[in-house]
Amino acid sequence: MPASIPPPGSAPDDELVFVAETPAASGGTGHAGEQAADASRAWRVMIVDDDADVHSTTTFALSSLEVLGRPLHFVHAYSNQEAQRLLAQERDLAANLAVVLLDVVMEQADAGLHLVRHIRETLGMRDVRIILRTGQPGYVPEMDAIRGYDINDYRTKSELTRTKLYTSVAAAIRAYEQLRALEDSRAGLARVVRANAELMALHTAEALAAGILREAALLLGQPANGLLCACPPAARVRDWTVLAASGVCAASAGGAGAAIPTHAGATIAHALAERRNIYLPDCVALYFRGNAGYGFAAWLTLARPVDDLRRSLLDLFASSIAVAL
């Protein structure tokens, strides 16, 4: 049987050919597959198989795949033990691993199944999608594997055409992304509730203002570089009172008449005029409706634009904390 797949278009059924399972010589381990993929934004896919040809054919078949506008980044392990070591040593990999393409029969007949248990139970990685692949389905029948182990798909290597592999991995990544989005939403809402409770317990205006800046930065996931102003009705920028400032804006602290950066003043004025939060690529202005016509606004610089989830959380935070101002 050939050791590699033919170039795209040369086989009428687009068949992805895997060699028979025989132990491959232990060699390169755990390094990235496609150097062109930007690891900081690519989906992490771990291939765990003791056959080097399976690694090369899988990487070749999926090298052009993009899911949700992001490429794939491959990590290779050739045994259960090596995969466990990589997940233990590389925390970023364990925290951001989207899919595991996992062989069953490696150094032991059930080595892959031991890795499934390690990933789910020992490491507690519930979001990662595990696709079990085997060239010897007799060792673990499909129904037994799905019933007894927390896997997300089961495939025999003989049935995996390039298109089926492509589809399975794309579907797994989409499911992973949806799970992560749900978890991020849950964690974000919990942060908003906690922040509100902590801020309501503060007894001075200065402490409350500093706390609002701090909590807004935590929701952004970025450093707290900004300021919070009290803005009387129809007042000019120089009449605003800086209640708190931090980071690069710390020099602006000083109460009424404090120097406010020009860009900050313009963005805050925009938020006050429209009575809503303003999101720009390099900064954000949060509007807090006060009493007696007073307006309050926090301005923070951004290292990167705010995504939709964080916008929703900041909008909720701003509207709920305004009652304390």
Given 180, 214, 233, the domain boundary residue is 180
Question: Is the same domain home to 98 and 222?
Answer: no
Question: Is the same domain home to 116 and 232?
Answer: no
| 239-258 burial: b if 16+ Cβ within 10 Å, else e | ebbbbbbbeebeebbeeeeb
Identify the band that residue 203 occupies on the pLDDT scale cut at 50, 70 and 90. Answer: confident
User: What is the chain's mean pLDDT, rounded?
Assistant: 81
Q: Does any domain span residue 6?
A: no
Identify the band that residue 51 occupies on the pLDDT scale cut at 50, 70 and 90. Answer: very high
**113, 29 in Cβ contact below 8 A?**
no
* 24 pLDDT more than 70: no
Identify the band that residue 180 occupies on the pLDDT scale cut at 50, 70 and 90. Answer: very high
Question: Is the same domain home to 217 and 154?
Answer: no
Q: Is the dihedral of CA 297, 298, 299, 303 positive or negative?
A: negative
Of 33 and 134, more confident: 134
Of 228 and 22, more confident: 228
Within the chain, where are the H helices? 52-62, 80-89, 91-96, 111-117, 142-148, 162-200, 205-220, 262-274, 308-321
Q: What is the CATH number of the domain that holds 216?
A: 3.30.450.40
pLDDT of residue 143: 57
Total structural domains in the chain? 2
Domain residue limits at 79: 43-180
Of 136 and 263, more confident: 263
Question: Is the same domain home to 231 and 161?
Answer: no
* 166 pLDDT more than 60: yes
pLDDT of residue 190: 92
Q: Does any domain span residue 56?
A: yes
Of 251 and 299, more confident: 299
Q: Is the dihedral of CA 231, 232, 234, 235 positive or negative?
A: negative
Question: Is the same domain home to 277 and 170?
Answer: no
* 299 pLDDT more than 50: yes
For the segment 27-43, the average pLDDT, to the nearest whole number, is: 54
Question: Is the same domain home to 166 and 225?
Answer: no
Question: Is the same domain home to 139 and 214?
Answer: no
Of 158 and 45, more confident: 45
Of 290 and 161, more confident: 161
Distance from C-alpha of 3 to C-alpha of 319, rounded to nearest angstrom: 61
The model's pTM:
0.68
Of 49 and 200, more confident: 49
Identify the band that residue 158 occupies on the pLDDT scale cut at 50, 70 and 90. Answer: confident
For the segment 72-88, the average pLDDT, to the nearest whole number, is: 95
Question: Is the same domain home to 308 and 215?
Answer: yes
Q: What is the CATH number of the domain that holds 159?
A: 3.40.50.2300
- Residue 218, classified by CB atoms within 10 Å of its CB into exposed (0-12), middle (13-18) or buried (19+), is middle
Question: Is the same domain home to 214 and 128?
Answer: no
* 14 pLDDT more than 50: no
